[in-house]
Amino acid sequence: MMRDAAQKNRELRNANETIQRLASTDALTGLANRRSLYEALEREVARAARMGEHSSVIMADLDHFKSINDDYGHTIGDLVLASAASVFSRQSRPYDLAARYGGEEFFLLVPGTSTENAIGIAQRIRTEIAEIKVPGCPRQITVSLGVATWMPSEASEHLISRADQALYRAKNDGRNRVEAAPDKRHK
């Protein structure tokens, strides 16, 4: 009876781990999902405030993705998304968090990282994505990225908004580029 109870406990623990993984990751890309991102970002903002450190975020949007789906189909579009996700995974350090923000948008939380260093990471992502070759998609894949660095007393929602604004500046200024939000530290 003890052996059966131990076996049932292991099965229950494994089932709970599977449920947690499914609830926190994006099924297509394997990256963290938006809910997991928000939880991690709240923790990181609190940590950065406590430690007085930099913490940056990178928001990215694949350029002209809708036309890829329209011209080559959603299966090819899914391959493009998965390929882009693998770039974010490769460019992430063990303590960073790469997430699918939604649709063709990705997000990278880079703790302990200044604006300048986050721009360097974003440029590496931009360059690597431009080199992606997806079977069935003859187009070059490009990405626009916005970088923002947490400012003291800034709420996580405002940090996301500033990264989003920088992303849309990158899109409006020609795409396939990196833009940074102003980094004016509060006194």
SS3 content of the chain, % helix, strand, coil (to 5): 55, 20, 30
- N residues, the chain: 187
> Rounded to the nearest 10 degrees, how much is the dihedral formed by the CA atoms of 71, 74, 76, 77?
90
Helix, strand or coil, per DSSP, at residue 97: strand
Q: What sign has the CA pseudo-torsion 44, 49, 50, 56? A: positive
Catalytically annotated residues = 104
Coil, strand or helix at 168: helix
Distance CA 115, CA 172 (A): 21
Number of Cβ within a 10 Å radius of residue 148: 28
